[in-house]
Each structure stands twice: as C-alpha cells, then as structure tokens.
Amino acid sequence: MARALDRRIELIRVGHQNTGNGIRETITPIGSVWASRSDVGDAERAVAGTVQGTVRTAWLVRSSPLTRELKPKDRLTSQGLTFEILGLREIGRGNLIELTTEARLDR
C-alpha cells in the first residue's frame, strides 16, 4: 500500500573541516523534500546515570538527483528532531528511496 508523502523534511550534509586547532563538524542544509514517516522501533537505555531514548524511523522519499546523492553520514530534520541516516535502499522500480534513520529523543 502506498503511503502519502505528507511531511516536509530538511536534508543536511555533514562534513568536517580542519581549523588548525582540531577538526570541526560542518553542517550544510542541502534541500527539503516531501516524505512519509513510519516509526519502526524505539529504545531506552541507561548510560552514565542518564536515560537515553531513541526512535528508529523509516522515511519514504521520491528518487531525485538530491535524494540519490544522500549518504549515511548525512542527516535529516523533522519536527525539531535530527535523524542520523543509517541506511538507504531503492524501493520498487527505483522511483522511491527508503531512508532508515535514528534520532535521540533526550537531546
């Protein structure tokens, strides 16, 4: 069954820059696309006296030059959460891409 692409997500390119005093992470917005969201799991774990919560989410987006260039080091944002891209896979005849992502809920 097809899901409606009813959420706007922002795509972010993550890089690293040598500043002379160390390596600094650079974050560059690269565009936004329509997507559908399907939460596929969540978890909580105790780390160093705190509780960390995560949600694993699958996003379905249309295949385009922008989405075909995404890499697992890139990220996306939606509704105030930043999602790390864990994996990408082509769906159907190549007109859709599924992004498997994970976001920390305690940040």
Top-confidence residue, 62 or 52:
62
Alpha carbon distance 76, 17 (integer Å)? 20
The pLDDT value given to residue 1: 46
Break the chain into its structural domains and give their ranges: 7-104
Q: How many CA atoms lie within 13 A of 43 on its CB side?
A: 9
Please state the φ and ψ torsions of residue 5, each to the nearest 5 degrees: -85, 85
The pLDDT value given to residue 64: 96
Is residue 70 predicted with pLDDT exceeding 70?
Answer: yes
User: pTM score, two decimals?
Assistant: 0.82
Confidence bin at 46 (pLDDT 50/70/90): low
Distance (Å) of CA 10 to CA 19, 47, 77, 81? 27, 30, 5, 11
**CATH, range 7-104:** 2.40.10
The pLDDT value given to residue 19: 82
- What one-character DSSP code corresponds to residue 22? S
